[in-house]
Structure 1
Amino acid sequence: MLKKFFITCSGADKNILENCANGEQNKYVGIGATVFFTAVMATIAGSYALFTVFDNIYAAIAFGVIWGLLIFNLDRFIVSTIKKTDSKFKEFLQASPRIILAIIIAIVISKPLELKLFEKEINNVLLTEKNQMTLDNKTQIAEQFTPEIESINSEIAVLKQEITSKENETNILYETYIAEAEGRKGTKKLGKGPVYEEKRAKHDDSLAALNQLKKDNSEKIKQKESAIVSLIEKQKLTEIKSQPIISNFDGLMARIDALGKLPWLPSFFIFLLFLAIETSPIIAKLLAQKGEYDFKLEDYETAIKTLVKQQVQQREQMLKADIVIDNKVYKDISEEEDLYNYKQKIARDLMKLQADSFYKKQQKML
């Protein structure tokens, strides 16, 4: 049962192969088994590739089965269409397009399995990239909010500087009227005279203005600090919203790109392994000598080809003979007197009818 199944997988003609020796049959059993197991590996690779994209095991399995059947059909077609000839060079030319197709299939099959084999290394590369993307993302978002925050901080600094300047001015006025009272400066008279009162009044006015300025600027500073807090919260919210995009940056394309950043040699040897598996049925057919099955298949195809050519030639000769006979028959008929008289009578009657019809139409018009 298994032998028949693998022979079916090889694409060989079972009716011809049944009459061949066991060695010839075993050769095609091996080719069919290679085709089948290549399709199985394609199914696994396709399922994993789709699972990394959609994260749905049922859809991945369904796609993997369809992909495996497609690869199975292609491989079976490639192997079954290679015919053995007496020239190895002609066989190679015949197989070269199929070898190119096998290389493409090997690349497609091997890549998803490479992603699975090097999954830990790929995850490490992706983690590094995600961390760098997170830092870059924070930097880009900060560049959007930093100018406005710095502008508000500058305004706060200006307001604080106004208070400091007014405090310095008030302190100077305080020192001035105290020195006047102590007789150290100004009139240098000890006691609180008219000059002292004047300077004290200036200080009190400046102190009142300072207190009012502190009250007004403190309110403005609070508002601006609240605006800064709001901007910082908005910045953090933007970072939080963009983080899931970075966290989900582990799709198929990202993994393939990460695989390319790993050392190429292990990946290359895995590709060579699948290439050897994919091309092994073709290489086996090219290297094998022309066997019993090939001779019988060639005999069968030649017989069919000869039979078809004979039938085509026979139909052409029959057509030529029919044309000659028809020409002779119609020539003989055209020379018969009875046929001529009959057609003459019919033509005469037809012309009479045409004349009568024309006369009736003219009569109606008049």
Structure 2
Amino acid sequence: MLKQFFIFCSGADTRILDSCSPGEQTKYAGIGATVFFTAVLAFIASSYALYTVFDNYFTAVIFGFIWGLLIFNLDRFIVSTIKKKNNFRSELLQATPRIILAVIIAIVIAKPLELKIFEKEINQVLLEQKNDMTLANQEQIATRFSPKITALNTEIASLKEEVTAKEAEVNALYNTYIAEAEGTAGTQRLGKGPVYAEKRQKHDAELLALKELKETNAGKIETAQATIASINQEYQGKVSESQPVIDGFDGLMARINALGKLPLLPSLFIMFLFLAIETSPIIAKLLSPKGAYDLKLEEEENALQTWVSQQMQQRELILKTDAGVNNKVYADIAEEQELYDYKRKRARELMQLQADAFYMKQKQILG
């Protein structure tokens, strides 16, 4: 039962193959098994590739099964259409387009399985790419908010410097009136005289102005800091909104690009393995000697070609003979006087009718 199924997979004519030796049947069963298992690998590979796209097991399995059937049909067609001849160069030329197609199929099958085999390494590459993209995204978003934050920080620093300068001025006035009272500066008279009172009054006025300045600038600084906090919150919101896009950067194309960043040699070995599997039925047919099945198939095809050629030749002879008979018949009839008189009479009547019609038309025109 299994042998018959694999023979069916090979695309061989079971009616002819049943009359061949068991060895010939085993050869085609082996070719059919290769075709079948190649289709199974195509189903597995495409299912995994489609799962990375749709993220749904049911959808991936359904479309993977359809893809596997397509590969099975193509391989079966390729193997079944290669005809064994006595000239290897002619056979190779005949199989070249099919080998090219087999190479394309092998590459298509191998790539998804490479993605699965090197999944951990690909995930590591994707993680590094996601981290780089996250940093780049944060920097890109920050360029929209950094100028505002920088301006506000500059404003805060300016307000603080203004308070510091005012404090220094008030401290200087304090030292001035203290020195006047101690007699170490100014009038250099010990005691609190009129000059001391004047300097003390000026200091107190500036101290009050400093207090008002601190309160005013503190309010401005608090407002600026609140604005900075709001901007930072908006920045974090933008980063959070764009982060899911980066986290979802693990589709089929992203994985293929990540695979391209890995060492090339392991991927080449896997591709060559599937290339050997995919082309093995074709290579087996090319290298195998011409067997009983090929001879019987060629005999049937030649018999059919001979029969078709005979039928075409017979139809050509019938047509040629019938044309000769018709020519002879019409030549004999043309010599009969009765036929001549009859056609002469009809021709005269036709010319009379034409003359009458022309006369009536001219009469109508002339009125």
TM-score by length of 2: 0.93
- Correspondence 1:89-104 to 2 at 5 A: 89-104=89-104
- Residues 302-311 or 260-269, more deviating: 260-269
Number of equivalent positions? 366
- Residues 196-205 or 250-259, more deviating: 196-205
Show the counterpart of 1:57: 57
Read off the aligned partner of 1:178 and give its amino acid letter.
I
Deviations 1:192-238 (A, max 9, x none): 33322322232233223222222222222112111111111112112
Show the counterpart of 1:291: 291
Show the counterpart of 1:301: 301
Give 1:267 deviation, angstroms.
2.8
CA distance in 1, matches of 2:315, 2:140: 82
> What SS does the aligned partner of 1:191 have?
coil
Show the counterpart of 2:177: 177
Show the counterpart of 2:166: 166
- Residues 169-178 or 35-44, more deviating: 169-178
Show the counterpart of 1:122: 122
Read off the aligned partner of 2:29 and give its amino acid letter.
V
Show the counterpart of 2:85: 85
CA distance in 1, matches of 2:276, 2:363: 97
> What SS does the aligned partner of 1:83 have?
coil
- The answer as to 2:272 corresponding to 1:249 is no
- Residues 124-133 or 46-55, more deviating: 124-133
CA distance in 2, matches of 1:251, 1:239: 21
- Correspondence 1:261-340 to 2 at 5 A: 261-340=261-340
- Correspondence 1:4-23 to 2 at 5 A: 4-23=4-23
Show the counterpart of 1:113: 113
- Residues 269-278 or 288-297, more deviating: 269-278
Read off the aligned partner of 1:14 and give its amino acid letter.
T
Percentage identity across paired residues of the two chains: 65
Show the counterpart of 1:201: 201
Give 1:163 deviation, angstroms.
1.0
Show the counterpart of 2:38: 38
> What SS does the aligned partner of 1:262 have?
coil
Give 1:260 deviation, angstroms.
2.6
Give 1:340 deviation, angstroms.
2.0
Read off the aligned partner of 2:235 and give its amino acid letter.
Q
Structure 1 unaligned regions, length at least 5: none
Read off the aligned partner of 1:275 and give its amino acid letter.
L
CA distance in 1, matches of 2:353, 2:103: 82
Give 1:48 deviation, angstroms.
0.9
Give 1:172 deviation, angstroms.
1.1
Deviations 1:113-146 (A, max 9, x none): 1222222222222223222322333233333322
Read off the aligned partner of 1:334 and give its amino acid letter.
A
Deviations 1:260-303 (A, max 9, x none): 33333333332222222211111111111110001111111111
| Coordinate RMSD, CA, aligned | 1.9
Show the counterpart of 1:136: 136
> What SS does the aligned partner of 1:82 have?
coil
- Correspondence 1:343-362 to 2 at 5 A: 343-362=343-362
Give 1:362 deviation, angstroms.
4.9
- Residues 267-276 or 221-230, more deviating: 267-276
TM-score by length of 1: 0.93
- Residues 214-223 or 25-34, more deviating: 214-223
> What SS does the aligned partner of 1:189 have?
coil
Read off the aligned partner of 2:2 and give its amino acid letter.
L
Give 1:360 deviation, angstroms.
4.3
Q: 1:97 to 1:364 in 2, by over 3 A?
A: closer
